[in-house]
Amino acid sequence: MATITILGLGPGDAGLLTRQAWELLEHTPLLYLRTAIHPTVAALPPQIELRPFDARYEQAGAFGDVYAQIVGELIERAAGGESLVYAVPGHPLVAEATTRLVLAHAQARGIDTRIVGGLSFIEPVCAALGRDPLEHGMQ
């Protein structure tokens, strides 16, 4: 059965990729990217064929339309038997609409999913502010 793996690229510095993410990327021949406009993309292993969805943003009128197109393509490929890796900025479960949509549609279609985490934007912001978000009641 096909699996959709959603991988977090982290906040922008390739050195902040998780070890799990890097090891997966080293063995990934094809990578779907929500956007290639992310600093980590330039440092990805050279054997990876990149398939970014950036052109969809230029063609669609609203983000919701773009996300529906991206998710539709990923789900159809997986339903056809293709296991794939889809990379998003930051952490897949932090402020990433396509992840929520992929997970919901995959579950409805009986497609397996896997999350490979990455640092979100939250950690670098907290570090820059010198604040623990839980200690200071940030929400």
Between the CA of residue 48 and those of 68, 73, 81, 89, what are the distances in Å? Answer: 25, 19, 20, 17
Q: Which range, 52-56, 83-87, 117-121, is most confident? A: 83-87
CATH code for the domain of 116: 3.40.1010.10
Q: Which domain holds residue 89?
A: 3-129
Give yes or no for a contact between 106 and 76, defined as CB atoms under 8 angstroms apart: no
Q: Which range, 3-17, 55-69, 121-135, is most confident? A: 3-17
pLDDT tens digit sequence for 22-34? 999 999 999 999 9
Between the CA of residue 80 and those of 27, 36, 76, 102, 109, what are the distances in Å? Answer: 22, 25, 6, 15, 11
Would 136 be classed as within a structural domain? no
Is residue 139 scored above 70 in pLDDT? no
Phi, psi of 137 (to 5 degrees): 70, 25
Percentage with pLDDT > 90 across the chain: 76
pLDDT at 133: 79
Would 137 be classed as within a structural domain? no
**Strands across the sheet with 49-52, in order?**
49-52, 30-33, 84-88, 3-8, 112-116
